[in-house]
Amino acid sequence: MESKEQVPLTLHLDIPESVAASLKLPDPEVEPCLRSELAVALYAQGILSIGKACDLAGSSRYAFADLVTRPRHPRHYADADLTLDLEYARGQ
């Protein structure tokens, strides 16, 4: 059997300008934050092993374990959001 050499795959993710402009992070923190968040999400769904998730996040296993155990995803839902949702539900 012939052994096929694996070719490294590099992916680039295009973030819409409107989303990038809305990020509440200093420019140098954007890529590391997005990589960490993606790694945690893929690990949590069982798509990546912890080792590969650490690679993606660019962190040690200890630092990644800390990321995984942090309280996640607080809701940012104000009264104005509720009003808009109720208007939408009423067809207004």
Closest CA to 35 of 7, 12, 17, 16: 12
pTM of structure: 0.67
Q: Which two tokens stand for residue 28?
A: 């140098």
Most confident range, picked from 7-21, 29-43, 75-89: 29-43
Cα 16 to Cα 50, 56, 82, 88, distances in angstroms = 29, 21, 26, 26
What's the pLDDT band for 6 if we cut at 50, 70, 90? Answer: confident
The distance between the two most distant Cα atoms of the chain, rounded to a whole number of Å, is 66
74 pLDDT tier (thresholds 50, 70, 90): low
pLDDT in tens, 22-72: 999 998 999 999 999 999 999 999 999 999 999 999 999 999 988 888 876
